[in-house]
């Protein structure tokens, strides 16, 4: 899971990961960059709403892995990390 992405069909990704933990892990992946409070809240809102409800037990791991990949991409492209 240290590569550039996580297997979106993973059956081993943490099924108990909360939205806050997911965002913290994505920030850590990119070296814990400083982002604005607005960006942090927008990403946390995404992480909180990214999983469908209800969810089947077999989907817990793959969908959380996919959420992590999406957060990594969103962070990499957010305005806070762009330079001129």
Q: What is the pLDDT of residues 50-78, one digit of tens each?
A: 998 878 889 999 999 999 999 999 999 99
Mean per-residue pLDDT over the chain, rounded: 89
pLDDT score, position 12: 82
Domain boundaries, position 74: 22-81
- Domain annotation covers residue 40: yes
CA atoms within 13 A on the CB side of 60: 9
Position 1 pLDDT exceeds 70? no
CA atoms of 6 and 46, how far apart (whole Å): 18
> Looking at the 3D structure of the chain, how many domains does it have?
1
pTM above 0.85, yes or no: yes
Q: Please, are residues 10 and 65 in contact by the beta-carbon 8 Å criterion?
A: yes
pLDDT tens, residue by residue, 6-22 = 876 777 889 999 999 99
Of 18, 35, 16, 37, whose CA–CA distance to 74 is shortest? 35
- Domain annotation covers residue 9: no
């Amino acid at each position: 899971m240290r590569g550039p992405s996580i297997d979106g069909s993973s059956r081993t990704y943490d099924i108990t990961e909360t939205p806050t933990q997911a965002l913290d892990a994505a920030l850590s992946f990119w070296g814990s960059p400083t982002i604005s409070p607005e960006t942090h809240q927008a990403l946390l809102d995404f992480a909180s709403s990214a999983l469908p409800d209800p969810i089947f037990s077999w989907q817990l791991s793959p969908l959380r892995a996919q959420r992590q990949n999406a957060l990594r991409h969103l962070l990499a492209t957010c305005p806070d990390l762009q330079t001129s």
